[in-house]
Amino acid sequence: MLMSTNCASKRLRISKKLLLCGSCVKEEHPEIFSQFTTGRIALLVCMEETHMNMVGLKLFDMFDMVKPEEVVVLTPDGSPHCVQLHYVVEDVKKRLRLDGLRVEHYVVDRGKIYKVSAESVKVSRYLRKIEKLLRK
């Protein structure tokens, strides 16, 4: 679990490849979860239970101390709670100026995996931009 993992954990310092995952993915789609854990430290969090500010501070400290090489974010698609995990990761990357950090975003919908660009994550925060895209 993300929130109970030490920010400078030895596991994190050794691997430097993280999977940040909505905790329900492991339960609802265990085969997909297993596919994404290969070679990565899996850190689960439920964004319904944990406020995004708490997650953000945890990730800020973790990324600052551990300097991960890769972060993969995996959540269910369509969840107003889980989408915050994607937002927080991009925000922490930006604030720490971790330009070299490789971040990949994925969502699961009806058992299928979809890769999502960082640009889509950013745009999804702005309803006016989405409205403009829909009206083109």
pLDDT tens for 94-125 read 999 999 999 999 999 999 999 999 999 999 99
Which pLDDT score, from 0 to 100, does residue 130 have?
93
**What is the C-alpha separation between 60 and 62, in angstroms, rounded?**
6
CA-nearest of 53, 3, 40, 6 to 23 is 3
**What is the C-alpha separation between 96 and 92, in angstroms, rounded?**
6
| Average pLDDT of the chain, as a whole number | 97
The pLDDT tens digits of the residues spanning 63-96 come to: 999 999 999 999 999 999 999 999 999 999 999 9
82 and 115 in contact (C-beta within 8 Å)? no
Which pLDDT score, from 0 to 100, does residue 36 have?
98
Which pLDDT score, from 0 to 100, does residue 136 have?
81
How many angstroms separate the Cα of 13 from the Cα of each of 29, 41, 69, 70, 102? Answer: 28, 10, 10, 12, 16
The pLDDT tens digits of the residues spanning 25-70 come to: 999 999 999 999 999 999 999 999 999 999 999 999 999 999 999 9
| Identity of the amino acid at 67 | K
Parallel, antiparallel, or unpaired: how do β-strands 102-109 and 112-116 relate?
Answer: antiparallel
Which pLDDT score, from 0 to 100, does residue 125 have?
94
Q: Which CATH class is domain 10-134?
A: alpha beta
Q: Which pTM was predicted?
A: 0.94
